[in-house]
């Protein structure tokens, strides 16, 4: 049997080096998504959105490594450490939920790797220098609720929210916004994301005799307090938060959630946005692509966050490539610098202007006010 010998010439070696250089030049993106666990209703549409992200930017291939953190902060930490130590990622996207996003932010800080978080996490002072959010800050949304409540003549509000960082942040920010609008928070109750009954908490809320109730829940868990309030005979106005802006709220809540008022990202009502809105085109682009693949009314504002990450990458990667090569600390730093200097990055959820001091980047263009009108979203403002 004849044997063949591979002869390495200078030309062959040069070609090999070029091929290796091209591989090293790939921009590597680590993505941690909660596609299982308590926050799966947020993470699954994000996972579904990943195929819509750009495959190349600025002539460089974009390589995505997608992992499921199970909504668990410990797993989020493990994944983030793998990203930076083994995969040598240039940027991290995620997570879907607050707790793993916070865990990932610590690794992002340690490794000096940009994180684009899909949840509106609040971090301790001195932390989060490398973390930027693609979800609107609770403060921005809480102000919208407070202004709307004031306009409806509300003077007092009873609050019930998740017994975690999301619920506590909402209570803090809404209390501040409410006070600025002459509204008192007269009761505050908590519940776990996994709870199946909130009857005791609801009875306490009702005994406070507030003008309105605010529920700070997310995904399917936002419906439970709402339906319980109606079942117990509460007839007053109910406000929800942007975490509840999913069809699950309407599906599970049914007629009980009709008339609810809540803030949300513009992508939820892309078709209803004014023609001159800068957000309308990217919002419609996302909705059209997603619902062509997954069916009518399957959009969620959570699913749009990875899509927006792709739009952000299209702005910052070409800028960073002018300064350094992917896979290096210099490139990671260049991505951070580009995030803070690029202006008016238009995404499906608003217009981003990050700075060294503001790692949310949103203004009022990043929110709309909705109501549920006979099973459909209706734009109020």
φ, ψ for residue 283, nearest 5 deg = -65, -45
Regions of the chain with pLDDT less than 50 = 1-23
For residue 13, the model assigns a pLDDT of 36
Q: 192 near 163, Cβ under 8 Å?
A: yes
Tokens 């609040």 identify what position? 122
For residue 2, the model assigns a pLDDT of 35
Q: Can the peptide bond before residue 95 be classed as cis, meaning omega within 30 degrees of 0?
A: yes
| pLDDT tens sequence across 353-373 | 999 999 999 999 999 999 999
For residue 9, the model assigns a pLDDT of 35
d(CA 363, CA 189): 30
Domains defined along the chain, listed by start: 10-136+300-348 (3.40.50.2300), 138-264+367-379 (3.40.50.2300)
For residue 196, the model assigns a pLDDT of 95
d(CA 340, CA 357): 9
What contacts 24+ positions apart, CB below 8 Å, involve 136-139?
Answer: 136/242, 136/265, 136/349, 136/350, 136/360, 136/362, 136/366, 136/367, 137/360, 137/362, 138/169, 138/170, 138/173, 138/241, 139/173, 139/176, 139/177
For residue 21, the model assigns a pLDDT of 42
pTM over 0.85: yes
| pLDDT tens sequence across 325-355 | 999 999 999 999 999 999 999 999 999 999 9
């Amino acid at each position: 049997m004849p044997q063949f010998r591979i002869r390495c010439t200078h030309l062959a070696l040069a070609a090999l080096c070029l091929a290796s250089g091209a591989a090293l030049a790939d921009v590597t993106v680590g993505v941690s998504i909660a596609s299982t666990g308590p926050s799966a209703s947020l993470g699954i549409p994000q996972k579904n959105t990943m195929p819509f992200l750009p495959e190349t930017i600025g002539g460089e291939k974009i390589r995505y490594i997608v992992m499921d953190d199970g909504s668990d902060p410990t797993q989020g930490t493990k994944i983030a450490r793998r990203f930076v130590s083994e995969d040598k990622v240039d940027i991290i996207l995620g997570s879907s939920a607050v707790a793993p996003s916070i865990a990932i932010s610590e690794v992002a800080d340690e490794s000096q790797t940009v994180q684009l978080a899909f949840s509106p996490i609040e971090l301790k002072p001195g932390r989060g220098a490398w973390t930027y959010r693609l979800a609107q800050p609770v403060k921005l949304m809480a102000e919208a609720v407070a202004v709307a409540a004031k306009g409806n003549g509300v003077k007092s509000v009873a609050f019930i929210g998740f017994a975690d960082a999301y619920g506590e942040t909402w209570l803090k920010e809404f209390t501040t916004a409410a006070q600025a609008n002459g509204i008192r928070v007269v009761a505050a109750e908590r519940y776990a994301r996994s709870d199946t009954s909130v009857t005791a908490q609801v009875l306490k809320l009702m005994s406070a005799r507030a003008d309105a109730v605010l529920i700070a829940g997310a995904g399917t868990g936002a419906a439970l307090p709402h339906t319980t309030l109606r079942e117990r005979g509460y007839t007053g106005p109910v406000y929800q938060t942007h975490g509840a802006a999913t069809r699950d709220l309407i599906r599970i809540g049914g007629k009980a959630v009709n008339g609810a008022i809540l803030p949300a990202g513009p992508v939820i009502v892309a078709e209803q946005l004014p023609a001159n809105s800068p957000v309308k085109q990217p919002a419609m682009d996302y909705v059209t692509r997603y619902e062509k693949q997954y069916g009518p009314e399957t959009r969620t504002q959570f699913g749009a966050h990875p899509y927006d990450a792709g739009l952000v990458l299209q702005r910052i990667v070409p800028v960073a490539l002018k300064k350094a090569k992917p896979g290096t600390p210099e490139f990671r730093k260049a991505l951070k610098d580009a995030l803070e200097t690029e202006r008016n990055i238009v995404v499906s959820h608003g217009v981003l202007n990050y700075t060294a001091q503001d790692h949310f980047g949103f203004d009022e263009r990043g929110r709309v006010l909705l109501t549920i009108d006979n099973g459909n979203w209706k734009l109020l403002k």
